[in-house]
Amino acid sequence: MKKIALIISREYMSRVKKKSFIIMTFLGPLLIGGMYAIAIWLAVNADEMNKKKDVYVIDESKQFTGHLRDSKSLSFQYVTTNLEETKKSIEGDEDSYVLYIPNLAKDLSGVQLYSTKQASISVVSYIEKEIESELKDKKLVENGISRDILKSLDMDVSLETIRLTDQGEESGSAGASYGVGMLGSILIYLFIFLYGVQVMRGVIEEKNNRIVEVIISSVKPFQLMMGKIVGIALVGLTQFVLWVVLTTSISGLVTQKLSKQLDTKMEQSGAIAPSQMGAGGASSAFQKSADASGNDVSKIMDAINTINFPLLIGAFLFYFLCGYLLYAALFAAIGSAVDNESETQQFMFPVTLPLIFSFVLSSSAVVNNPDGPIAFWMSMIPLTSPIVMMVRIPFGVPTWQIICSMILLIGGFIGTVWIAAKIYRTGILMYGKKVTFKEMFKWLRY
């Protein structure tokens, strides 16, 4: 055990002291914090960035005048000038459109949108939708339904999901579950890939430096392999924890700084509101949307609060570690069988296949049907369960399934380590030989 501890500490220290590790550890949170700052800054300065674009409407039938509703980025102005003049008036003006609506009583064609730049799809589809809905409203009014009734039909329903559990009713949100689960599985996927490959590189390096035989004359190959795997796991955890801590503190700092700016900005726009109706309107609209998003946030927070965090975090740590250990052992075996990294391709493929497969499926099939047969079986098979089970857990998984999956994963982990150790033991002493799968299979029996 003392020797494994020595190996672990060497693997750990030699990596943590590397410049690339230190740079990545600090650069990562800075980048995330920077992006966060930009996002907030954009939100704060959104009114200036998204200047409303004018759409000059030439309405032959006068049927639409006053009925097309403005959107966040479009404002409809009704003009009485003729088409040619209006077209001329927007020449060189990138932020204006001319919408020509002929009499649509008999024929629905002939609606035209003029602009100096190609109008974006969202603009086109918004205008189309407005015209269509106005035509529909018109027909309904003609058939005796009043505008008031039509207005009252404009409704926004959001579904509240409630799970019936042993503890009673729990409200939850499919969106929040999805988000938390996906986050967990993405982290596990990245961690396995980044640090599993590091294990492989470490093994190849030892082989290339020809130090491996010197070391295994003092320790068992198994100890060397496990020491490396665990040492690198600790490097990964260190980086992960530092990232979480640094990212939260940097984003916290950013929020604090920018929210002050946000407040003063609101006050300013509030003060000038009476004199400048436009700006005031924009600001109150902004406030409204801020309130709305505040509601959304509290809803999401409520939903997140309903997720069983002790279970989730426990499961995350378990699948995170066991999944990594399982794959790292396989990566170590690959590293031992080759002489340099370019030879690893043929062996990498079958190892990474289940990983990629489960990652892709977890964002589609598993999320759509978290209790379906695909989700069930993939969360049981040890090669795919670390990623798939993480996606399923926030939706609620029966306890027996979680226990079963965990036992299978531990079994799978022990099995792969056993196999990997056999391949590793023989592989590290082989030089200058192209190894095939057939040969690796033979090594299992040595």
Give the residues lining the site for other proteins (CB under 8 A). Answer: 3, 6-7, 10, 14, 205-206, 209-211, 213-221, 429, 431, 442, 446
Name which of 213 and 296 has its Cβ closer to other proteins: 213
The dihedral through the CA atoms of 391, 392, 396, 400 has a sign that is: negative
Look at strands 161-165 and 74-79 and give their pairing: unpaired
Q: Which is nearer to other proteins, 19 or 106 (CB)?
A: 19
For residues 32 and 219, which CB has a smaller minimum distance to other proteins in the complex? 219
Q: Tally helices (H) and strands (E) across the chain.
A: 17, 6
List 96's β-bridge partners, or say none: 54
CB 262 within 8 A of CB 47: no
Q: What are phi and psi of 276, to 5 degrees?
A: -120, 95
Residues 132 and 88: beta-carbon distance below 8 Å: no
Q: Which residue, 274 or 432, is less far from other proteins as judged by CB?
A: 432
The helix, strand and coil proportions of the chain, stated in percent and rounded to the nearest 5, come to 70, 5, 25
In sequence order, what are the residues at sequence separation of 6 or more whose Cβ sits closer than 8 angstroms to the Cβ of residue 141? 147, 150
Measured from the CB atom, the residue of 217 and 342 that comes closer to other proteins is: 217
Taking the alpha carbons of 143, 145, 151, 152 in that order, is the dihedral positive or negative? Answer: negative
What minimum distance in Å lies between the beta carbon of 415 and other proteins? 22
Distance in Å, CB of 368 to other proteins, minimum: 48
Task: Give the separation between CA 243 and CA 24, rounded to whole angstroms.
Answer: 9
- Give me the helix-helix angle, 221-271 and 174-208, nearest 10°: 140
Determine the residue type at 334.
I
Scored b (16 or more CB within 10 A) or e, 277-310 reads eeebebbeebeeeeeeeeeeeebeeebbebbeee
Q: What is the nearest approach in angstroms of other proteins to the Cβ of residue 195? A: 18
Phi, psi of 82 (to 5 degrees): -85, 170
CB of 327 to other proteins, least distance (A): 25
Nearest-approach distance from CB 215 to other proteins, in angstroms: 7
Nearer to other proteins, 215 or 234 (CB): 215
Which of 88, 220 has the CB closer to other proteins? Answer: 220
Quote the CA–CA distance of 312 and 180 in Å, as a whole number.
9
Instruction: Tell me whether residue 220 or residue 434 sits nearer to other proteins (CB atom).
Output: 220
Q: How far is the CB of 372 from other proteins (least distance, A)?
A: 46
Q: Compute the least distance from the CB of residue 204 to other proteins, in Å.
A: 13
Q: How far is the CB of 198 from other proteins (least distance, A)?
A: 14
In angstroms, give the least distance from the CB of 426 to other proteins. Answer: 9
Nearer to other proteins, 47 or 339 (CB): 339
Phi, psi for 272 (deg, rounded to 5): -90, 5
Residues 215, 428 contacting (CB under 8 angstroms): no
